[in-house]
Structure 1
């Protein structure tokens, strides 16, 4: 039993050592993917036709909280969309 725990800890340490120099890159990639996802969700409100609008409509209530962080990160003090008031 102890061998399994120690082997598991070794694998965790190895993974941490490998991923340490890339944490900022991974975080940036995840943020960029989230920005693209938000653009797809709100593109119809921005005037960009979105063929997946019907499927993304049900996600709006879950994403509204993240929308505020997104528009601040994009440099907009207030929400650029009239239909979404987060500030």
Structure 2
């Protein structure tokens, strides 16, 4: 191995050493952002007024796949919507 390869490997391992403790924090932050996005998209169906409902309406088919996991994370045992029966 050349010196350049050793330095590159050391740099990669050092970056992993410093980034590893925060990986769970970043994953949780991403999950919270996804939950907020889901709430914004589903707000009209949940009865919450949404001024951007015209734009979020076209996103509904995309978020239907994740709806079950989302409502379980939010503490709802069953789907809160009559027209979406996922459980």
User: TM-score, normalized by length of structure 1?
Assistant: 0.81
Runs of 4+ that moved beyond 3 A: 2-12
What is the RMSD of the two structures over their aligned residues, measured on CA atoms?
2.0
Offset of residue 53 of structure 1? 1.1
Q: Distance in 2 between matches of 1:43 and 1:33?
A: 15
Note the residue ranges of structure 2 that are not aligned, 5 or more in a row.
Answer: none
Offset of residue 62 of structure 1? 1.3
User: TM-score, normalized by length of structure 2?
Assistant: 0.81
The structure number with the bigger radius of gyration is 2
Residue by residue over 1:40-85, the C-alpha shift from the partner in whole angstroms, topping out at 9 and shown as x without a partner, is 0011111111111111111111111111001111121210111222
Note the residue ranges of structure 1 that are not aligned, 5 or more in a row.
Answer: none
* Aligned residue pair count: 86
Which residue does 1:21 correspond to in 2? 21
